[in-house]
Amino acid sequence: MKPRIGITTSPSVHEDRFLEALDRTYVTAIVRAGALPFILPVLEAEDAQDAISCVDGVLFTGGGDVDPARYGAVASPHVDGLDAARDAYEIALADAAAAAGLPMLGVCRGAQVINVAFGGTLVQHLPDVSDLSHREKDRWAEPVHPVRVSLDSCLAGVVERELVGVNSLHHQAVDLVGRGLRAVGWAGDGTIEAIEGLGHLRVLGVQWHPELLSAEPGHDALFGWLRNEAARGRTAEAPHDVVLAEAVSFGAVRAAV
Catalytic residue IDs: 108, 209, 211
Dihedral of the CA atoms 76, 119, 204, 38 (nearest 10)?
Answer: -80
Q: Compute how many other C-beta atoms are within 10 angstroms of the C-beta atom of residue 233.
A: 12
What is the Cα–Cα distance from 170 to 19, expressed in whole angstroms? 23
Of 89, 88, 90, 69, which is closest to residue 79 (Cα–Cα)? 69
What are the beta bridge partners of residue 19? Answer: 12
Of 138, 134, 111, which is closest to residue 122 (Cα–Cα)? 111
What is the Cα–Cα distance from 93 to 30, expressed in whole angstroms? 19
Contacts of 24 (CB under 8 A, 6+ apart): none
